[in-house]
């Protein structure tokens, strides 16, 4: 465990890519609070006072080089995150962008590199019960996001060396106030009566409260000097039935308890059908269901956290119950 009063680091200049999202901006705020100089790189302003914003994309070598100049450490969060889309878009950002960031980081003499990945890179659709992180397997990954993030993770780990230590974190099902990727979508769909529970809803999943994710990333920035060249899944370490998790999120957000129940087999078939047709026309929103999403909502996926906590010397500060209470307070004041 880290004492906040002892966290005056030798690192003073840190680049965070993808800092306009909840996790990235929260990481930047915490780094600034700890006294670091922080540069951010993303297509729109990070919105964090005190950070030096570079507007651009990780797909643009010149922007990456400008942002990287003089940095001591990198937290690479930028990614194309979606359940559907043109495969080339995912490849440009999640693979090509990672290549640019790694190359420029090495050229700039960066001494610590934390790469943010996803447990989906090693998930082929089977249940995961107390599983280790596993090796990224893009060929078996479900969907373009997981496939390209898997390739990006492998690039990051291949770049690891004593002079350029790399540590990969895979936050799993992050949720909490301000999260639009998972929390807000579940609550909004529950309000509209469109949030299903698949099958019995009894499959166990582990999740990660947002402030715990931030703390784990900062712990990784310290840990990478001791242990590097591996990937760690990060969770609260408190598995819950997927049905309970969805219902608790919906309730915390002021939505009614989801009443829609769909058997697993038809959901998987429907998800596969959506996968086949969704990208045939233009869409501004996410598909209502994909095969990957149906698998995630009907199979167990929780992970052994012993190695993660050993390496990071970290434990979640906010429990599942405390996080749900905080989420309910957040929505009650909106």
- Measured between alpha carbons, how far is 26 from 37 in angstroms, rounded to an integer? 15
Q: HSE (CB half, 13 Å, CA atoms) of 307?
A: 16
The percent of the chain in helix, strand and coil, each rounded to the nearest 5, is: 40, 15, 40
- Measured between alpha carbons, how far is 127 from 204 in angstroms, rounded to an integer? 9
- Measured between alpha carbons, how far is 98 from 32 in angstroms, rounded to an integer? 24
CB 315 within 8 A of CB 105: no
Query: Rounded to whole angstroms, what are the CA distances from 323 to 29, 214, 248, 262?
Result: 20, 14, 11, 28
The catalytic residue positions are: 145
- Phi first, then psi, for residue 191 (nearest 5°) are -60, -35
């Amino acid at each position: 465990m880290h004492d906040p009063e002892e966290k005056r680091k030798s690192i003073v200049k840190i680049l965070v890519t993808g800092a306009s999202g909840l996790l990235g901006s929260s990481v930047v705020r915490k780094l600034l609070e700890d006294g670091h100089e922080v540069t951010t790189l993303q297509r729109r302003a990070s919105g964090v006072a005190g950070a030096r914003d570079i507007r651009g994309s990780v797909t643009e070598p010149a922007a990456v080089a400008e942002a990287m100049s003089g940095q001591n450490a990198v937290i690479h969060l930028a990614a194309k995150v979606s359940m559907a889309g043109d495969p080339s878009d995912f490849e440009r950002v999640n693979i090509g962008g990672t290549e640019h960031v790694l190359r420029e980081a090495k050229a700039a003499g960066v001494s610590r590199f934390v790469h943010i990945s996803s447990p989906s890179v090693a998930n082929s659709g089977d249940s995961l019960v107390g599983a280790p992180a596993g090796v990224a397997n893009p060929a078996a990954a479900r969907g373009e996001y997981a496939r390209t993030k898997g390739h990006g993770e492998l690039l990051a780990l291949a770049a690891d060396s004593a002079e350029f230590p790399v540590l990969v974190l895979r936050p799993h099902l992050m949720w909490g106030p301000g999260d639009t990727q998972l929390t807000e979508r579940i609550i909004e769909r529950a309000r509209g009566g469109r949030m299903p529970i698949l099958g019995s809803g009894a499959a166990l999943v582990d999740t990660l409260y947002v402030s715990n994710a931030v703390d784990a990333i900062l712990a990784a920035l310290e840990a990478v000097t001791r242990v590097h060249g591996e990937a760690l899944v990060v969770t609260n370490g408190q598995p819950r039935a997927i049905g309970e998790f969805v219902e608790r999120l919906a309730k915390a957000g002021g939505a009614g308890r989801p009443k829609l129940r769909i058997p697993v087999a038809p959901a998987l078939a429907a998800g596969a059908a959506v996968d086949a047709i969704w990208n045939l026309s233009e869409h501004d929103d996410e598909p209502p269901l994909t095969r990957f999403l149906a698998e995630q909502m009907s199979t167990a996926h929780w992970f052994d956290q012993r190695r993660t906590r050993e390496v990071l010397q970290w434990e979640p500060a906010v429990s599942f119950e405390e996080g749900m209470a905080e989420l309910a307070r957040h929505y009650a004041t909106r």
